[in-house]
Structure 1
Amino acid sequence: MENYNMPEEISTELKINKSLYLFDLFFIIGFLMITMMLRFFNHPTLQIPFYIFMSIFGMLMIIRPSTNPKKRMYEALLLTLVRKKSTYCAIDRDE
């Protein structure tokens, strides 16, 4: 019978350096591709401000908010937008 090595943990994200994860790198590359596709919709004099805005926006979307450090900012915003507005839950302040 063959011996298989099973990974102990598969949910850990792969880190590239101290603060950049592999998913963040792919997100930035995808966001850069979207920026390059959208540049044709801007006036030529607004190209540089558009690139600056999109780079700042892309970096803000991958940071992790202090209120929910396991999610990225775009995940927190998406959860905020799609949650049911009529459902409420109690927040325990003692924890």
Structure 2
Amino acid sequence: MDQYTIPKEISSEMKFSRKFYLFDIVILISSLSIAWLFSSMVYTKIIFFYYIFIFFGTVFLLMRNKFNPKKRNFQTVYFALKRDRTVYTRI
């Protein structure tokens, strides 16, 4: 009678290696492309450091969070900035 199997995971990410996913590669290439578009605004002697900063900054934001492994660092930063700062007290 058991004709149908119920999947345990509905959405999954494509992996390229143990730590790299398709989403990571696409975002990294996109951020480096945007950095290339804005590179004309950067002083020419520090352009190499600009690309290094963009690369490592993007890699950091795409890494999984140590304290919440299901979220990435950019999601953690977003939630920290978006949180409700109102202090609620008893009446």
Q: What is the alpha-carbon root mean square deviation over aligned residues?
A: 2.1
Gaps of 5+ in 1: 1-5, 89-95
Can you list the C-alpha shifts for 1:51-74, whole angstroms capped at 9, x where unaligned?
111111111111111111111101
Gaps of 5+ in 2: none
Can you list the C-alpha shifts for 1:11-42, whole angstroms capped at 9, x where unaligned?
12111111101111111111111111110110
User: Counterparts of 2:34 and 2:11 in 1: how far apart (Å)?
Assistant: 28
TM-score under structure 2 length normalisation:
0.81
TM-score under structure 1 length normalisation:
0.78
Amino acid at match of 2:18: K
Amino acid at match of 1:55: F
| Residue aligning to 2:47 | 47
Question: Share of identical aligned residues, percent?
Answer: 29
Q: Which has the higher contact order (CA 8 A, sep 6+)?
A: 2
